[in-house]
Chain A
Amino acid sequence: NAGVTQTPKFQVLKTGQSMTLQCAQDMNHEYMSWYRQDPGMGLRLIHYSVGAGITDQGEVPNGYNVSRSTTEDFPLRLLSAAPSQTSVYFCASSSTLGAGGPNEQFFGPGTRLTVL
């Protein structure tokens, strides 16, 4: 199993450009999410999905869109990049809540994005 994969690993954008960060998992996990990591702020949830066709906003959703057409893929779209979106982006997945509570989330390797 490849686990959670993210592409690209690095990206530089100019203000106003759009792009899609790709995330895929091969563990048949229903739950997927996107976080951004900024210095001194830990990780903050952007969007999440509890299954194909179902998405919802997290703590910092503005400027980002997501869709979940398959169980495996959960792309994150930046509509019009801004310097404030310079960050490291992590995708995560986990199996759904079981009797013992939430399972561990498996994180991808991250995408380092710089917006000039």
Chain B
Amino acid sequence: AQKVTQAQTEISVVEKEDVTLDCVYETRDTTYYLFWYKQPPSGELVFLIRRNSFDEQNEISGRYSWNFQKSTSSFNFTITASQVVDSAVYFCALSEGISGGYNKLIFGAGTRLAVHP
């Protein structure tokens, strides 16, 4: 069965600290896609990144970076020099296989990040 585990329920940091949010997934598919979404206090869901199973290159976007390791089935998200505006719930998600055209997302439980001034 496919599953996404975000073991960190809540993380609290002080502004400018670096923080890593863990995501571990389970799937039997050889082709799959991983996503990160951000849910700020206002409640909307904001897309951050998509990664396919054949691309293990790490990605950096400003202060955000993602580390994908197939060997450990992990897709971790690091925020460098955190800011108060980064406070949100972050969700990791896995897309299922062919049924539904890879658009059926399985979400982790989310990690609530609080960045304090």
Query: Chain A: residues with CB nearer than 8 A to chain B?
Result: 31, 33, 35, 40-45, 48, 50, 56, 58-59, 88, 90, 92, 94, 96-97, 100-107, 109-110
Question: Which B1-58 residues have C-beta < 8 A from chain A?
Answer: 4, 6, 9, 33, 35, 37, 43-45, 47, 50, 52
Q: In chain B, what residue has the closest Cβ to A112?
A: B43
Which of B60-68, B69-77, B80-88, B104-112 forms contacts with chain A?
A: B104-112
Residue contact B105 to A97, C-beta cutoff 8 Å:
no
Q: Within the complex, what minimum Cβ distance (angstroms) separates A95 from chain B? A: 9
Interface residues on B, range: 20 to 34
**A residues near B43, Cβ cutoff 8 Å:** 88, 109-110
A96's partner among B37, B101, B104, B110 (CB-CB below 8 A) is B101
Q: How many residue pairs bridge A and B at CB < 8 Å?
A: 70
**A residues near B4, Cβ cutoff 8 Å:** 42
**A residues near B104, Cβ cutoff 8 Å:** 33, 45, 48, 58
**B residues near A106, Cβ cutoff 8 Å:** 47
**A residues near B45, Cβ cutoff 8 Å:** 43, 90, 92, 107
Closest 8 CB pairs of A and B: A42-B107, A107-B45, A102-B102, A104-B47, A97-B101, A43-B107, A42-B109, A31-B103
Residue contact B100 to A56, C-beta cutoff 8 Å:
yes
Residue contact B100 to A50, C-beta cutoff 8 Å:
yes
Known: A97-B101, A100-B52. 18 other contacts (CB 8 A): A31-B101, A40-B9, A40-B109, A41-B109, A42-B6, A42-B91, A42-B108, A45-B104, A45-B106, A58-B104, A96-B103, A97-B103, A101-B95, A101-B102, A102-B50, A102-B101, A107-B45, A109-B43
